[in-house]
Amino acid sequence: MKHILASLGLSLFSGIAAAQAYPTRPVTLIVPFAAGGPTDIIARITGEYYSKTLGQQFVVENVAGAGGTTGITRGAQAKPDGYTIMMGHMGTHGAAPALYANLKYDPIKDFQPIGLVAGTPILIVARKDFPAANLKEFVAKLKDPAAKVKQAHAGVGSVSFTTCTLLTSQLGVKNIVAAYRGTGPALNDLIGGQVDYMCDQIVNLVEQVKGGSIKAYAIAIPERSPALPDVPTTKEAGLPEYQVSAWNALFAPKGVPKDVAAKLSDTLVKALDDEATRKRLLELGSVIPGKAGRSPQALQKLVESEVARWTPILKAAQQ
Amino acid sequence: MEFLGHLALGFATALSPMNLLLAFIGCLVGTLIGVLPGVGPIATIAMLMPLTLKVDPTGALIMLAGIYYGAQYGGSTTAILLNIPGEVTAVVTAIDGHEMAKKGQAGTALGIAALGSFVAGTVATLVIAAIGAPLTKLALLFGPAEYFGLMVFGLGLAIVLARGSVLKAVIMVVLGLLLATVGTDLETGQDRLTLGIAELSDGVDFAVLAMGVFGIAEILRNLEHPESRDVAVSKIGRLLPSLGDLRRSLGPIVRGTGIGSVLGILPGNGAVLGPFASYALEKKLAKDPSRFGKGAIEGVAGPESANNAGAQTSFIPLLTLGIPPNAVMALMVGAMTIHGLIPGPQVMLKHPTLFWGMIASMWIGNLFLLIINLPLIGLWVRLLKVPYRLMFTTILLFCAIGIYSINNNPYDVYFTAFFGLAGYVFIKLGLEPAPMLLGFVLGRLMEEKLRQALALSEGSFMTFVERPVAAGLLVLAAAVMVIALLPAVSRSRAKAFQE
């Protein structure tokens, strides 16, 4: 009898232990972009906290290609055991369905959301001598066909492309558009005055704005960023409907064990309260979600609303 | 003098025992990894980036920069010994360097590459320290139209590169241009020439193509006659360049350094043109251009110097504008950002010890490379004595690992195998891969810049005439092509007259 009880206890215990034991080997964190970019850096900072607290390495694997959809496709098809997770973002889980006809995953149905990690606010910037002193004057220029305003973006599907498309579609304007391969070359031509303006994530632009080689008209979030306290929000500057942020969030493939998903989500909540992790994310100009915004349910809602938001805008822009 | 003060500050930082050690480790790791065929600096830096979190940002960057030059240099070693250029910039080195190795002059080729790189690195460091900031303005002068002009100029070089028939060189350049159009269209996002293979949607990777048409094809050819190859390298020859070699290399090194330094500053990876331009120049200046392609030491000394000078000066746009000119520099941006230090125009003012320390460490890194590599030459050359049946399997294994590590994509390995077969067919048809690779590298940029220039000018081709720098470059490109083609034309006319 004792033995039976003991073994029953043991088996109950080992059932719990399996959940508690996760992870027992290194976990692959797929980043669907090249190493060194904003999403990669956010993933590495978050991954380090996971490695430290869960006792197993969270190894970043950069699987770049097709606007991040190559890596997310691989992640979606991975075995749902919690040993492959991925850093999705606004493009892969919001804009992709509208941009890629042959997308092999459904951002809404094929994932177990873990939680939102950080939002990266979008800045509207112009060359330093562009003849508009503030956002209102700039919008007036955009609306004036004679001004022939030239926009640069970092390639179809990039954050700078989608967010600038949102701007021009909200304003109902069409300007001259030059496509670049990546933010670097686009920014180079903006500093050199070959093009007039672009939209992109704050982390890519903050130092150039501070150094005065380009100027920022507005930041597209409700409150000013401590990284650039002098730059007004779009609400303050007179374009309140332009609210957009490149968010990064952790996902697991659909079907991971509930307790594993819960453990990953709980760890994320703690990571975003961790002093060192917060500090490094804030240095990037990121916005860290509040407690309510960190839950898997909140992320699922965000993905649904983002797909609904981007699909009509991007489909219209492609025509 | 401000300049000396800056350098003193830089050396004070870079010469701290910790930073010296990190620079040394970086150079050593870079060299060792660069020597493995296929494993390039990008994969290495990406893998080692987390390790640098433990040290301060200056030390971390010094070490990562060391890996970068180390791998650049190591890449030349495989280009010379095995005809496998791991980086675009080593393609040119492979042409004459590998021929030298086949003649038993591998040691001389490696030695002159090390010495040329050191001289170039020293000069480039001084250039960055003295006039790095003002030089940035040059980079900003280059808009899409100017860049297009430069790319056309680069294509002209491909014709000069050709060893044999100009027609065959042109065919290969065009093939390279076509390969460069594979992938997603930049403006519309549509797939082009991808044959429905999703893995091709970002185009063909340079390393995949180069590894295939050079490395794998070379192995296939060697397997045809394994015995003759063993004979070719059994003579090791002298390990260091002779005085005569040095005298012949001096001019190419100086000119290569100049060309490489200037092109390295340009945005959009202008540095890749440096070795090609240097090779073309040396071939034009040579009394007997027919030696080129058959193991001319000038064809190694010049391009290697240009390569290294460009590798250094390509830090200028990163450090002064915060704009990475190539994939490796983009990784450096990531490394700086992870340390909470976003690169931009203010780095120089806000973090002078980091900025000048890194510049001083470039020179120290070059010195380490010389110290590490000169003794290693003997070892590398002796590696060639390893029986080929062991060697080629090892090379194939490392190639597969290296190619996979670029994007963590198994398809890249299949593509490399495909290009290996294609390269073998090229050898059989007498077609040279170097002009194709140049066309490939220039093609993507050229198309991009052409379309940007036309988008900004609203479709007017006059933009290439109205902008003086662009117009000047296009005229120069036309001149280069005429000069390159004239001898061929006059030769065929001479033949016609004889008949």
Q: Smallest Cα–Cα separation from B208: which of B406, B2, B485?
A: B406
Residue contacts between A and B (CB atoms, under 8 Å):
156
In this structure, what token pair is assigned to residue B293?
Answer: 């392609």
Q: End-to-end CA distance of chain A, in Å?
A: 75
Model confidence at A15, in pLDDT bands (50, 70, 90)? Answer: very low
Phi (first) and psi of residue B183, to 5 degrees: 125, -170
Between helix B243-265 and helix B106-141 the angle, nearest 10°, is: 20
**For residue A132, what pLDDT is reported?**
96
| CB-CB neighbours of B459 under 10 Å | 9
Which helix (H) or strand (E) is A130 found in, with range? none
Contact A36 B331 (CB under 8 A): yes
Of B140, B184, B452, the CB nearest to A192: B140
Report chain B residues whose CB lies below 8 A from the CB of A35: 42, 45-46, 49, 331, 334
**For residue B205, what pLDDT is reported?**
85
Model confidence at A11, in pLDDT bands (50, 70, 90)? Answer: very low
Chain B residue nearest residue A282, CA to CA: B340
Chain A residue nearest residue B196, CA to CA: A102
Contact B139 A34 (CB under 8 A): no
Record the pTM: 0.85
* Contact in structure between B452 and B249 (CB atoms under 8 Å): no
* Distance from the A194 Cα atom to the nearest Cα atom in chain B, whole angstroms: 6
Contact B408 A63 (CB under 8 A): yes
* Burial of B290: CB neighbours in 10 Å, binned 0-12, 13-18, 19+: exposed
**For residue B230, what pLDDT is reported?**
47
Single-letter residue type at B87: E
The string of DSSP letters for B356-417 reads HHHHHHHHHHHHHHHHHHHHHHHHHHHHTTS-HHHHHHHHHHHHHHHHHHHHT-HHHHHHHH
Q: Is B203 helix (H, G, I), strand (E, B) or coil?
A: coil
Contact B140 A191 (CB under 8 A): yes
Q: Is B193 helix (H, G, I), strand (E, B) or coil?
A: coil
User: CB-based contacts of A53: which residues, under 8 Å, 6+ apart?
Assistant: A267, A270, A271
* Distance from the B334 Cα atom to the nearest Cα atom in chain A, whole angstroms: 4
**For residue B231, what pLDDT is reported?**
41
**For residue B287, what pLDDT is reported?**
86
Is any Cβ of chain A less than 8 angstroms from the Cβ of B378? no
What's the mean pLDDT in A33-37? 83
Contact A195 B139 (CB under 8 A): no
**For residue A45, what pLDDT is reported?**
92
* Distance from the A238 Cα atom to the nearest Cα atom in chain B, whole angstroms: 28
**For residue A10, what pLDDT is reported?**
47
Of A36, A192, A283, the CB nearest to B330: A36
- Chain B 329-348, CB below 8 Å of chain A: which residues? 330-335, 337-338, 340, 342-347
What's the mean pLDDT in A184-193? 89
What's the mean pLDDT in A251-277? 95
* Contact in structure between B324 and B299 (CB atoms under 8 Å): no
**For residue A18, what pLDDT is reported?**
52
Contact B407 A65 (CB under 8 A): yes
Q: What percent of chain A has pLDDT over 70?
A: 93
**For residue A1, what pLDDT is reported?**
45
Mutate to test the interface with B, among A77, A207, A210, A225 (most CBs of B within 10 A): A207
Residue A47 has pLDDT above 60, yes or no: yes
Contact B323 A211 (CB under 8 A): no
Of B186, B322, B337, the CB nearest to A41: B337
Q: Name the least confident of A60-69, A150-159, B227-236.
A: B227-236
* Burial of A101: CB neighbours in 10 Å, binned 0-12, 13-18, 19+: exposed
**For residue B211, what pLDDT is reported?**
85
Report chain A residues whose CB lies below 8 A from the CB of B200: none
**For residue B131, what pLDDT is reported?**
78
* Contact in structure between B225 and B277 (CB atoms under 8 Å): no
Give the distance from CA A178 to its chain's centroid. Answer: 23
- ipTM for the predicted complex: 0.83
Q: What whole-number distance in Å separates Cα of residue A236 and Cα of residue A218? A: 9
pLDDT means per 10 residues in chain B (499 residues)?
A: 81 91 91 76 74 80 87 84 79 89 87 92 87 73 88 79 78 93 84 85 85 88 69 59 90 94 77 87 87 90 92 82 77 79 75 86 89 84 80 87 82 94 94 87 88 93 92 88 70 52
Report chain A residues whose CB lies below 8 A from the CB of B331: 35-36
* Distance from the B335 Cα atom to the nearest Cα atom in chain A, whole angstroms: 7
Of A188, A206, A213, the CB nearest to B267: A188
Is any Cβ of chain A less than 8 angstroms from the Cβ of B458? yes
Report chain B residues whose CB lies below 8 A from the CB of A70: 198-199, 201-202, 409
Q: Is B342 helix (H, G, I), strand (E, B) or coil?
A: coil
Q: What whole-number distance in Å separates Cα of residue B205 and Cα of residue B183? A: 10
Contact A207 B322 (CB under 8 A): yes
Residue pLDDT, tens place only, A80-138: 999 999 999 999 999 999 988 889 999 999 999 999 999 999 999 999 999 999 999 99
* Distance from the A66 Cα atom to the nearest Cα atom in chain B, whole angstroms: 6
* Distance from the B438 Cα atom to the nearest Cα atom in chain A, whole angstroms: 19
Report chain A residues whose CB lies below 8 A from the CB of B144: 178, 189, 194
Q: Smallest Cα–Cα separation from A193: which of B348, B144, B313, B460?
A: B144
